[in-house]
Structure 1
């Protein structure tokens, strides 16, 4: 038995879900999503071709149907009289021996074979359910970090090139939040779904309906303690579906509460502001903290040749003191565009998502870092770019690279971030014993791209904020001269709101620096 193409299409698309556990995720690095454009353009071309062929089929079917309708109208109720005309008898015979058999062939013909084959070939490159879930979580992260209204996100207002979301998109995000018992996000995204539903004149997918949206809104508001709003949404639901059993029961409950416990029939708005580290981190992501005026004179710019280093005398580094304590430097134009492209080219096949060890020792994806990274050494690059960059870092910092870690190239994904962390190993933690080079004495962070919106590097404990500037590098000491960790260097990478963020880390270790950065006489310096 031959299966119609439409059923096969549904089967194959559903089948892609079965592969989700065997493929690497895409949402954690935008570079791995860029190839989807070519795949989608090719699929769209073949889909248009399939639609054109199907339209041509419909034209033939409609033309035949009209001829049959005309013959039946002429035939009327007297088939015997109609067949007295030999031409009529011939045409009736012809319709059954040729016409209807031709229609059978046309209806059963499959114009979607090329399209289906393309889906099958490329489905291993499709984003998975994990990607879809990660993308939804990313939008909610951006909503919270940058205090965005989901209605504005849904209207495509994040950038000039933003596309509007559908009511189904918003409803799905709200449903995910509902399943996670995040009632605030449920409410926010269901309201966005309601607005988009009205603007679209309905859900194009036919999946979302108004009663379902109001049902989730009512429960979310009830869970947030907003009994009055929950009652209002229940009444709205019943206007669209008067027989909704749960809503009828809820209406009775809300009516009883309003009569017997009027003090409960109020709304409560949650307070978003707090003094936690995460709140400070998110606030710094949105806006810089004011720097005390007495420190302004210490924030200076100058040309730096590191004690007349031969390689820096004729091309000194443009340097800025961006923060005083901890001392954070910005080295401008420390790499070239060509070097950046070379690092991306080398790192791309090596990019992998960060992992952590679970309770049972299994490797799990790290949720605190939404990015992929790849490590590069001089042996990876026969053209010598990596070695040249390492040498330049040694020239600028004055520290040996012989015990430093390899260059780590990082590309952030949808709403990519790195939550507050230290680069050095704290007391009681393993001090990178597998490397045998001591703790991380300093960090050099190269910005390989500008970022349109978001993506700042922030230090929540001290209020420092660095905006990515392509070709520039941030540099700070992780350890004091005593070897103790400088806890003021706790920092984070803010979520990327619009754009693609590429960075390159160089972590320099203690071993080999004994005479380049001698111990101080005070533990606090």
Structure 2
């Protein structure tokens, strides 16, 4: 929904904002924005407090039980404590008649458990759903792929490129390892979609970890060594590696010899190997779920943030203080860095202050909804764009209005309605990304043309936060990337002067490896800019 875009007066809107609570997060949308992930951390904090209270009450109950046990046990072990004593005889009869039933059938344990259940019910609606868990698993696989990370390293809390002696891409302050059950779930998400490339890597790690801890039990685990062996064996079978599927299935039967289904699988695998019908296992190929044609170039750029300019462009690149002929910039010129000549891309440093960035994030936060992409004449959610976004009108807050004036001054373009879209604020999710795309419409059926102000001529993307790793903006055909620079604004032309789309502006938001990435996008349309960016004498320009 477009925040504050309802045509109401400003005082009434502010009153509504004060009176109405923020909308609850949509089901199965936690993983698509780090703001939602942080809110989930608060929900777990409430559960921790409930569990602490439960443990406190249960510990007190168990201490009382221990005192009862020690008292009775002491009587049984004391040779002088004879039931010939009428008082001891009375206490024995009383204990057996009433004390023991009171202990055994006490409601105290049930009441403690019910209180814990009630606490869970209070936050249950806020908790991530199954789609969130699967989305988080896919995020780990995305990071594994794009940054060529070692699965074993990720399971050990290390973000190390696979098969490389390079330093880790990210070193967290506290290293957190994944459990066998964690790795199993990631592998099973891949397994359930027939993606055996990823299922084998993650299930192998799950099997290794389960083997190390076999015999111990964790109350939070839902899977076991047998589960991991079963799924891994079938993954290898589907990948054509029959001999390994056979050895894993035999290991399974060692732990569960009565399992008839796995026994039948063993017989099937042995027959295939004996008759020579088993196809030789070829190298596993990584699936391309979104059919991304430029995947290799995209991933190489994401792994190489801040791509170096070509030698012939270096003399033409520059940094300068710019006023752009605007009185608005006379006292505080813009700090402009020309990043690329073709396509023309410039980075304006310190374009926004910390306070302004926090204000914009705060305004957008309650209105964030899953980001969508154009699909013909419609818009829909897509796996190749993982984020949430909200739209802010310039009347939302004076900070938004000032920011729009600053954009107009720096670009020299007309931002008055309908020549520009509202400010879009985006918060990326777990492994949040946006695969290669154009900002301008490539079809006249695009929803962009509903504004009746032409195509998107230019983009201004403001980095509202820093990230610890990843998240670069990669220009695929132009072969360079721009790392996240907090409070800076990235500007580029989407259209050539003749109105055609510039194919060199194909760009992507690389997955966020670590951190909380926020950006604000301002898309400016071609109508109203005829005299601000006139056509060239060269029709090809």
* TM-score between the two structures when normalised by the length of structure 1: 0.86
CA distance in 1, matches of 2:480, 2:497: 22
Contact 1:453–1:496 at 8 Å: present in 2 too?
Answer: yes
Higher relative contact order (CA 8 A, sep 6+): 2
Contact 1:166–1:203 at 8 Å: present in 2 too?
Answer: no
In the alignment, which residue of structure 2 is the partner of 1:153? 154
CA distance in 2, matches of 1:273, 1:280: 16
CA spacing shift, 1:265–1:24, aligned 2, 3 Å:
closer
In the alignment, which residue of structure 1 is the partner of 2:66? 62
In the alignment, which residue of structure 1 is the partner of 2:323? 305
In the alignment, which residue of structure 2 is the partner of 1:36? 40
CA spacing shift, 1:232–1:291, aligned 2, 3 Å:
farther
Report deviation, 1:459: 1.5
Is the counterpart of residue 174 in structure 1 residue 203 in structure 2?
Answer: no
CA spacing shift, 1:364–1:445, aligned 2, 3 Å:
closer
Contact 2:474–2:509 at 8 Å: present in 1 too?
Answer: yes
Partner residue of 1:333 out of 350, 354, 361: 350
Report deviation, 1:254: 3.8
CA spacing shift, 1:244–1:123, aligned 2, 3 Å:
closer
In the alignment, which residue of structure 2 is the partner of 1:486? 502
Q: Secondary structure at the match of 1:187?
A: helix
Is the counterpart of residue 315 in structure 1 residue 332 in structure 2?
Answer: yes
Report deviation, 1:317: 1.6
CA spacing shift, 1:273–1:301, aligned 2, 3 Å:
farther
CA distance in 1, matches of 2:231, 2:113: 39
Contact 1:334–1:471 at 8 Å: present in 2 too?
Answer: yes
Contact 2:240–2:279 at 8 Å: present in 1 too?
Answer: no
Partner residue of 1:511 out of 517, 524, 527: 527
Q: Indicate the RMSD between aligned Cα atoms, in angstroms.
A: 3.0
CA spacing shift, 1:386–1:445, aligned 2, 3 Å:
same
Q: State how 1:249-260 maps to structure 2 within 5 Å.
A: 249-260=264-275
Is the counterpart of residue 279 in structure 1 residue 296 in structure 2?
Answer: yes
CA distance in 2, matches of 1:27, 1:372: 10
In the alignment, which residue of structure 2 is the partner of 1:293? 311
Report deviation, 1:368: 2.4
Report deviation, 1:306: 1.1
Deviations 1:269-320 (A, max 9, x none): 235699931222122111255643222222222222213x222233222211
Report deviation, 1:328: 0.9
CA distance in 1, matches of 2:379, 2:125: 23
Contact 1:320–1:330 at 8 Å: present in 2 too?
Answer: yes
Q: Secondary structure at the match of 1:196?
A: helix
Contact 1:424–1:439 at 8 Å: present in 2 too?
Answer: yes
Report deviation, 1:431: 6.5
CA distance in 2, matches of 1:233, 1:268: 19
CA spacing shift, 1:101–1:279, aligned 2, 3 Å:
same
In the alignment, which residue of structure 2 is the partner of 1:131? 132
Is the counterpart of residue 229 in structure 1 residue 244 in structure 2?
Answer: yes
CA distance in 1, matches of 2:524, 2:108: 69
Moved more, 438-447 or 209-218: 209-218
In the alignment, which residue of structure 1 is the partner of 2:407? 393
In the alignment, which residue of structure 1 is the partner of 2:387? 371
* TM-score between the two structures when normalised by the length of structure 2: 0.84
Structure 1 alignment gaps of length 5 or more:
1-19, 76-81
Contact 2:47–2:120 at 8 Å: present in 1 too?
Answer: yes
In the alignment, which residue of structure 2 is the partner of 1:194? 207
Report deviation, 1:166: 1.2
CA spacing shift, 1:449–1:108, aligned 2, 3 Å:
closer
Report deviation, 1:371: 0.5
Q: Secondary structure at the match of 1:446?
A: strand
CA spacing shift, 1:98–1:254, aligned 2, 3 Å:
closer
CA spacing shift, 1:259–1:102, aligned 2, 3 Å:
closer
Q: State how 1:265-276 maps to structure 2 within 5 Å.
A: 266-270=280-284, 276=293
Q: Secondary structure at the match of 2:529?
A: coil
In the alignment, which residue of structure 2 is the partner of 1:17? none
CA distance in 1, matches of 2:253, 2:28: 45
Contact 1:347–1:409 at 8 Å: present in 2 too?
Answer: yes
CA spacing shift, 1:518–1:444, aligned 2, 3 Å:
same
CA spacing shift, 1:209–1:367, aligned 2, 3 Å:
closer
